[in-house]
Structure 1
Amino acid sequence: MVSDSGIECLSIAYAAANISEEKRVSAIGFVAGIGSAASLLGTMAARFLSTAQIFLIAAISSMVATIYMRIFVKETSGRIDSEPLNQPILVDNGEERSQSKSVSQSFKEVLPLKDIFCLLKSSVTLSLATVVAFLNGLGEGGQQTPYLYFLKARLQYNKDNFAVLMLIGYTGAAIGQLFLMPRLAPITGEEAILSLSCISGFISMLIVSIAWAVWVPYVANLLPIIAFLTRPALQSIVSKQVGPNEQGIAQGCIAGISSFGNILSPLIYTPLTDLFLSEKAPFNYPGFNLFCVGLAWLIALIPSMMIQFGTKNSRLKIRDGGRTLDA
């Protein structure tokens, strides 16, 4: 649990720091798609393995990933690009950094909270992305325990139904992230994908909230082909607002804010689920809690559209106090 989000955001940050902006969205989508494909394979394997075998294979996979990372993934924390647009926002003008800094020294440097807030407020786009990340975290949290409990209580879902539901969702997510996003982003842009995925998340929850048969959530779970593009689209947008040496900070902040939404989500949706599935419900809408989960994505649509149609803030403008440096 501790390393889950960290592995994802560090992988995205590493890819963003080493790939040009033109190819970055495809790379981020590919990394996210590989994660979804791995979740799909893990769900399928769990159907045929015992509990002890599942934990054994998970431990071996983690060890293999660690060894692979240590051998093949090169450390880039000391690299600074000489181009002005790639210089970090948080570095003072008089500060000089040596490229020979060791990895052990970088672990000792803890960025103050005020610098993190300064980074998030340095761009209107980053500020709006923070709001979207929080609301997306609320929605994702609502898709966990409250969502599954509703399906079990309302439609009598069992473990087989849940397994099929997860297989459909992960398959759609992998297809969308691996194949759809790299082809769609150059045409529409990440901002349009972000807005579209927020709409898809709301529609999916709306359909499930009024589900009248066991197969309805299966159909609604096809929408993650688009809905699961929210996170990679957001990560791609954020990556273009900071320099290569700040990718880890930016992606970590966005992941942390999203995780905070995940924490708050059960506190909001669990009592709501219990209320509307009981006889004390103020009105007859058993799936109202899922409708509220979808509302998180519907509200997130507003800042996502502000990102899409608002003024684009470049990193150069931020550091120059709003002045452009035209050649």
Structure 2
Amino acid sequence: MEKLAGLSHLFVTVFLSNFAVLMVNPAITDVTMAALCPGKDQCSLAIYLSGLQQAIIGMGTLVMIPLIGKLSDVYGRKALLTLPMTLSILPLVILAYSRSTTYFYVYYVFRTLTAMTSEGSVQCLALAYVADNISEGKRVSAIGVLTGVGTAAIVCGTLATRFLSTAQTFQVAAFVAMAAVVYMRLFLKDTNRINDALVQPMLKSGSDVTKSDEESSKKIQVFKRISSMGELICLLSSSGTFSRAAFVAFFNSLAEGGLHASLLYFFKAQFHFNKDQFADLMLIVNIGGTFSQLLLMPTFAPIIGEEKLLSIGLFAGFLNMLLNSIAWSVWVPYAVAGFYVFTSVATPSLRSIVSKQVGPMEQGMAQGCISGVSSFANIISPLIYSPLAALFLSDRAPFHFPGFSVMCIGLAWMMAFIASTMIKAAPHSSRGKISIKDYTVA
């Protein structure tokens, strides 16, 4: 019962965090365009700046998320959740105050810097928390519910954005982000994943300074092991299933990064979408995702397995982008958004497969490793899709195909789908799991 109560507080924390951070997504494209290219539906500067920001954030998270995941194995999930959730408040406060060109650039800098730590960290730590408290047999359902709660938060946030002004959207988001941090600190129970001799508070009182030199040396060695990239390399090289999962995560994130880099700007240029239309589209997508993750995934995952669900989700993503790239009318994006009922199961299925490849002491590192691979994809993604989108939405396109960059997003999902068909069933017992302690890197 105590573990279930802990999970319920985790779900509320994830709900509030996702609600705050992601409710601004329907508005941010209009804010960017208004600040950089007022009165226009096409703006190469906006596309390039958004892509550059995504690449820089990806470089930061590539280093930070695996480190944060491993630190949480030592210091507990709650202590490490505090940092990214607090940092995510700052950019929201800036745009809540003003969305002029000057304040947009201030937001741009703060968003880039803070997202290097906050982007993806809450999801990574929440997944590790679930793995701490749920047995393997029920883990895929629990991860599906966790992802569904996050998607439900996006639905609620997007619905709120649909009826709020742009200024009110950022004000509400900033307030809810603050409430999420307060709730998490007050109610979430921590989990300690390493033996008590190694679990240490991150902030020491004055009396702690007088501890023995031997104990201090032990802490230093713990931090050195945490900061070593060798552990990440060991994880990728020690299991065929894990390495294939990382390959799938790379191309899945390459495609998802392309959605941010080009899809919304394609809809803006091709069909003159605004904040409300973006919100309507995101509502359809996320309602389908919530239904899938809360109901379909817990029902079918135990029957057909996470591996088949992963493949189904990735192939649905390919079909979605293929049809969007040749969209001939404004209703097409709304119609094909229904594919997200299947696409949304890909990431939680992949995370469940990963969680079963390692023991209980390496959950933070394993999830952080996959998040790091995804972050690397997010560095590359805007370098590919932003120039393609800017080129094919301009008058300089080598041939007339405005949705060419969107079709290329679908090809990345097809690569992930092909790789997913080679993933074998994850072990359901402690035998055959990777243990980082078995692979020492000097």
* TM above 0.5: yes
- Return the match for 1:291 from 382, 400, 407: 407
2:130 aligned with 1:23, yes or no?
no
What is the TM-score with the length of structure 2 in the denominator?
Answer: 0.64
Residues 58, 319 of structure 1: alpha-carbon distance in 2 compared, 3 angstrom cutoff: closer
**Is the contact between residue 144 and residue 298 of structure 2 (CA under 8 Å) also seen in structure 1?**
yes
Residue 35 of structure 1 corresponds to 150
> Residue type matched to 1:157 in 2?
F
- C-alpha displacement at 1:143, in angstroms? 1.0
> Residue type matched to 1:71 in 2?
L
- Return the match for 2:199 from 93, 98, 101: 101
- C-alpha displacement at 1:236, in angstroms? 0.4
2:355 aligned with 1:257, yes or no?
no
Cα distance in 1 for residues equivalent to 2:263 and 2:177: 29
Q: Which runs of 5+ in 1 are unaligned?
A: 80-96, 321-327
2:356 aligned with 1:232, yes or no?
no
- C-alpha displacement at 1:113, in angstroms? 0.3
Residue 175 of structure 2 corresponds to 60
Cα distance in 2 for residues equivalent to 1:52 and 1:288: 34
Residue 242 of structure 2 corresponds to 126
2:393 aligned with 1:277, yes or no?
yes
Residues 31, 318 of structure 1: alpha-carbon distance in 2 compared, 3 angstrom cutoff: closer
- C-alpha displacement at 1:312, in angstroms? 6.3
- Return the match for 2:264 from 127, 148, 161: 148
Residue 43 of structure 2 corresponds to none
Residue 82 of structure 1 corresponds to none
Residues 289, 17 of structure 1: alpha-carbon distance in 2 compared, 3 angstrom cutoff: same
- C-alpha displacement at 1:161, in angstroms? 1.9
Stretch deviating more after TM superposition (262-271 or 135-144): 262-271
2:104 aligned with 1:6, yes or no?
no
SS at match of 2:432: helix
Residue 203 of structure 1 corresponds to 319
- Return the match for 2:163 from 28, 45, 48: 48
Instruction: Give aligned pairs, total.
Output: 302
Stretch deviating more after TM superposition (177-186 or 277-286): 277-286
Residues 99, 72 of structure 1: alpha-carbon distance in 2 compared, 3 angstrom cutoff: farther
Residues 108, 51 of structure 1: alpha-carbon distance in 2 compared, 3 angstrom cutoff: farther
- Return the match for 1:216 from 318, 332, 336: 332
**Is the contact between residue 254 and residue 378 of structure 2 (CA under 8 Å) also seen in structure 1?**
yes
Cα distance in 2 for residues equivalent to 1:281 and 1:308: 43
Residue 190 of structure 2 corresponds to 75
Cα distance in 1 for residues equivalent to 2:198 and 2:397: 64
Cα distance in 2 for residues equivalent to 1:222 and 1:249: 34
- C-alpha displacement at 1:153, in angstroms? 1.6
Cα distance in 2 for residues equivalent to 1:296 and 1:315: 33
**Is the contact between residue 130 and residue 257 of structure 1 (CA under 8 Å) also seen in structure 2?**
yes
2:300 aligned with 1:174, yes or no?
no
- Return the match for 2:361 from 245, 254, 268: 245
- C-alpha displacement at 1:175, in angstroms? 1.1
> Residue type matched to 2:128 in 1?
A
Q: RCO (CA 8 Å, sep 6+): is it higher in 1 or 2? A: 1
- Return the match for 2:299 from 183, 187, 191: 183
Cα distance in 2 for residues equivalent to 1:21 and 1:78: 16
> Residue type matched to 1:34 in 2?
V
Residues 67, 316 of structure 1: alpha-carbon distance in 2 compared, 3 angstrom cutoff: same
Cα distance in 2 for residues equivalent to 1:9 and 1:169: 22
Stretch deviating more after TM superposition (156-165 or 63-72): 63-72
- C-alpha displacement at 1:100, in angstroms? 6.3
RMSD value, Cα: 2.4
After superposition, give the CA deviation of every residue in 1:70-113 in whole Å (9 maximum; x if it has no partner). Answer: 3333322245xxxxxxxxxxxxxxxxx54562233699563410
Residues 55, 190 of structure 1: alpha-carbon distance in 2 compared, 3 angstrom cutoff: same
- C-alpha displacement at 1:51, in angstroms? 4.1
- C-alpha displacement at 1:15, in angstroms? 0.2
Cα distance in 2 for residues equivalent to 1:213 and 1:300: 29
Cα distance in 1 for residues equivalent to 2:180 and 2:272: 38
When you count helix as a share of all residues, which structure comes out higher? 2
Q: Which runs of 5+ in 2 are unaligned?
A: 1-114, 203-218, 436-442
Cα distance in 2 for residues equivalent to 1:248 and 1:255: 10
Q: Percent identity?
A: 50
- C-alpha displacement at 1:52, in angstroms? 4.4
Cα distance in 2 for residues equivalent to 1:271 and 1:36: 30
After superposition, give the CA deviation of every residue in 1:186-206 in whole Å (9 maximum; x if it has no partner). Answer: 111010011011100000000
> Residue type matched to 2:247 in 1?
V
**Is the contact between residue 155 and residue 287 of structure 2 (CA under 8 Å) also seen in structure 1?**
yes
**Is the contact between residue 132 and residue 300 of structure 1 (CA under 8 Å) also seen in structure 2?**
yes
Residue 268 of structure 1 corresponds to 384
2:414 aligned with 1:316, yes or no?
no
Cα distance in 2 for residues equivalent to 1:319 and 1:155: 49
